[in-house]
A = this chain, B = another copy of it.
Amino acid sequence: MRENTTRSAVLPVAPTRGRLRPLGLDEVRITGGFWARRRHINASATLGHCRDWMERVGWIGNFGAAAEGRIHRDRRGREFTDADVYKLLEAMAWQAGHGAAGSLDAEIAALTAVIAPAQEPDGYLNTAFGRPGQQPRYSDLEWGHELYCYGYLIQAGVAQTRARGEGELAKIARRAADHVCAGFGPGGIEGVCGHPQIETALVELARLTGEQRYLDQAALFVDRRGHGTLADSEFGRAYYQDDLPVRRATVLRGHAVRALYLAAGAVDVAVETGDDALLAAVVRQWEATVARRTYLTGGMGSHHRDESFGDDFVLPPDRAYAETCAGVASVMLSWRLLLATGEPRFADLAERTLFNVVATSPSEDGRAFFYANTLHRRRLGTPPRADAESPRAESSLRAPWFAVSCCPTNVARTLAQLPAYLATADDHGVQLHQYADAEIATCLAGGHRVALRIRTDYPYGGNVAVRIDRSPDRPWTLSLRVPAWTAGATAWLADPDGARRAVAPGTAEVTRTFRPGDDIRLELPVAPLWISADPRIDAVRGTAAVQRGPLVYCAESVDLPGGHEVDAIRVDPSAEPVDGPGGNGGTVVLAGELATHAEERDAAWPYQPLARPPAATADRTGIVLVPYHSWANRGPSTMRVWLPTAEPDRPAEPDHFAVPGRPADSDNTATGR
């Protein structure tokens, strides 16, 4: 691996080595489009929403209660709520580092002033343990989340230092980290936290401060796990990855967020210590997990019971848990693996997960969230309450807050740091991994400054235009990721001369002495495509889904005529899906039919001797799909991604379906790929 000698200050992840060098929030700006809108809502609505809710439910107040000695009586919320306050602070810090810092700096200072008095003289800081009337410190490593909370505190401190310069929050975080190293280092408690998270944080603190002991402690936590130091539980030790050491595991397992955070921490340790075997072990686990335990959306974790990965190919769409935090954690892991290896497959998964999990969680107004991201919603459920915490996976609508509310602040900090995930540099040039309207300015090796500007209609369109604003007078390479989902169609790259060549999934490169004003254009084919699943994914046998560019689509009952629910849909994959009303991916239309209400009548017993299906009686119709990330934004709805295909012995009639909102004979009807 190469050393990262040139470095930005404002980086969420700042490895000292790796194939690619990340660009920081001071080098990349998102200027418009899909993510700019979401980042604007995040800054203007979500941050305040989270702060207000945490005031209201008492999670911020817990710190004061601890400082005032009344916490044993007055504590509110689950044992890990401190972490959400820290995650909000981290989000605020990155946001402040990216502009409009004024009021955010003051908010950070105010919140920090609430937290500071709760820290004990030896650095211990947790409102759920250790004071009179509470359980003793570190008496419940399995479920207590004390080290997990420190992890987010340390990340908030790192964010504040990098984004705004060291402040009080960073000092609190340093004291806590020192306390952890003293207490859990060699000769200390031989334990790990039931919820991995501190590992990435300690490595980042080592990167920030250059202090080896933080890295050593992170490495110790990674190596200590998997030897059964945590008590067995109802869910087994695999739940907290204490069943098998990281370097011996072959696939991610157990609680999905824990597994992904641990893997991210292991990559951080591997990169900083040059431990290639550890890095290879995590890559292997990532490969197996992506091949066998990941939803079409990039969602991970299929079990509600323990929020865990299922066995290989157990990916039920209707009980998909696919927790938002697991999506965030998957992006964290993929980003670290991309920086370490330079391989575009990691950016492919990050893209899929960002557009179909992370972007799905928040509502359009940024004040309600999905905690779980199911791929099939069968009934409307009870609407979430506007004035109370919701259960985490019980409604077809996003909820303003949860009793366990890890997801909203995790989305907030991810959106706040998102520009840092777009591009990297190396000795040869600049690499674009995610496409958004953006401006990039950085230095190449030798101090040569480059500046570029990206314009795109992504993710609904596949046109990416890169304009060079500044370039040294010597050749360098601009690399553009060609997503794996373009396989089978042709992507095109046009260099500044206008020379146009087909490019394959992976990386497309232009090497030359660029001039300001040069244009590079990438055209990615985004026609909607039928997708089928590996036959070993039993739960979606006999169905097909639609993807268009990086976006997964879904059917929602609000788009169906006649009061039908989505389970009435049967589709005909012999007819290509086409763009629907509004064009450009706002909707997609399929050929299909709706079961008649008579067919939906119950039999007394739903299992019968096999017989030929009756002749179809349903009318063929056009079925409208919308991007999955936008579902449930028009009120309660049933929804499904994987759509049953019609009985094979029914003749396919691809040309005889109506596109709603469009004359049946319109030219556009046949514009499928």
**A interface with B by C-beta (< 8 Å):** 234-236, 287-288, 290-292, 294, 296, 303-305, 310-314, 316-319, 345, 376, 378-379, 382, 391, 394, 403, 484, 487-488, 529-539, 541-545, 547, 567, 573, 600, 602-611, 644, 648-649
Instruction: Check A234/B487 contact, CB under 8 A, given A603-B291, A605-B290, A608-B532.
Output: no
Task: Name the residue of chain B whose CB is nearest to the CB of A610.
Answer: B530
CA distance A534 to B440 in the complex (A): 56
Interface contact A606-B537, CB-CB below 8 Å: yes
Task: Name the residue of chain B whose CB is nearest to the CB of A315.
Answer: B606
Interface contact A531-B345, CB-CB below 8 Å: no
Interface contact A606-B534, CB-CB below 8 Å: yes
Collect the chain B residues with CB atoms within 8 Å of residue A310's CB: 319
Instruction: Check A607/B533 contact, CB under 8 A, given A316-B319, A391-B236.
Output: yes
**How close is A353's CB to chain B, nearest CB, in angstroms?**
13
**How close is A480's CB to chain B, nearest CB, in angstroms?**
20
Residue contacts A-B, CB under 8 angstroms, 20 given: A287-B604, A291-B606, A294-B606, A296-B607, A313-B606, A314-B319, A316-B319, A317-B538, A319-B319, A484-B605, A529-B610, A531-B608, A532-B609, A533-B606, A534-B607, A536-B567, A538-B567, A541-B542, A541-B644, A573-B610
Collect the chain B residues with CB atoms within 8 Å of residue A607's CB: 296, 531-534, 545, 547
**How close is A311's CB to chain B, nearest CB, in angstroms?**
5
Interface contact A292-B606, CB-CB below 8 Å: yes
CA distance A538 to B376 in the complex (A): 10
Interface contact B606-A311, CB-CB below 8 Å: no
CA distance A644 to B535 in the complex (A): 9
CA distance A235 to B314 in the complex (A): 23
Collect the chain B residues with CB atoms within 8 Å of residue A378's CB: 311-314
Task: Name the residue of chain B whose CB is nearest to the CB of A574.
Answer: B610
**How close is A234's CB to chain B, nearest CB, in angstroms?**
6
In-complex Cβ contact of A541 among B543, B547, B611 (8 A) = B543
The 5 closest A-B pairs by CB, nearest first: A534-B606, A542-B542, A541-B542, A530-B610, A305-B305
CA distance A370 to B148 in the complex (A): 36
Task: Name the residue of chain B whose CB is nearest to the CB of A403.
Answer: B234
**How close is A237's CB to chain B, nearest CB, in angstroms?**
10
Interface contact B533-A604, CB-CB below 8 Å: no
- List 5 additional A-B contacts (Cβ < 8 Å) besides A287-B604, A311-B318: A236-B382, A529-B609, A532-B609, A538-B543, A538-B567
CA distance A284 to B538 in the complex (A): 32
Interface contact A394-B648, CB-CB below 8 Å: no
**How close is A397's CB to chain B, nearest CB, in angstroms?**
15
In-complex Cβ contact of A316 among B292, B305, B316, B605 (8 A) = B316
CA distance A376 to B310 in the complex (A): 13
Task: Name the residue of chain B whose CB is nearest to the CB of A349.
Answer: B605
CA distance A537 to B234 in the complex (A): 30
Task: Name the residue of chain B whose CB is nearest to the CB of A648.
Answer: B648
Task: Name the residue of chain B whose CB is nearest to the CB of A243.
Answer: B382
**How close is A575's CB to chain B, nearest CB, in angstroms?**
11
CA distance A394 to B414 in the complex (A): 35
CA distance A484 to B603 in the complex (A): 13
Instruction: Check A604/B303 contact, CB under 8 A, given A538-B376, A538-B539, A542-B541.
Output: no
**How close is A568's CB to chain B, nearest CB, in angstroms?**
9
Interface centre among A529, A533, A608, A649 (most CB of B within 10 A): A608
Interface contact B539-A316, CB-CB below 8 Å: yes
Collect the chain B residues with CB atoms within 8 Å of residue A545's CB: 607
Task: Name the residue of chain B whose CB is nearest to the CB of A537.
Answer: B606
CA distance A538 to B312 in the complex (A): 19
Task: Name the residue of chain B whose CB is nearest to the CB of A376.
Answer: B538
Instruction: Check A605/B291 contact, CB under 8 A, given A234-B391, A318-B538.
Output: yes
Collect the chain B residues with CB atoms within 8 Å of residue A602's CB: 288, 291-292
Task: Name the residue of chain B whose CB is nearest to the CB of A533.
Answer: B607
Interface contact B391-A609, CB-CB below 8 Å: no
Interface contact A534-B603, CB-CB below 8 Å: yes
CA distance A537 to B610 in the complex (A): 15
CA distance A602 to B286 in the complex (A): 13
**How close is A366's CB to chain B, nearest CB, in angstroms?**
26
Interface centre among A311, A535, A567 (most CB of B within 10 A): A535
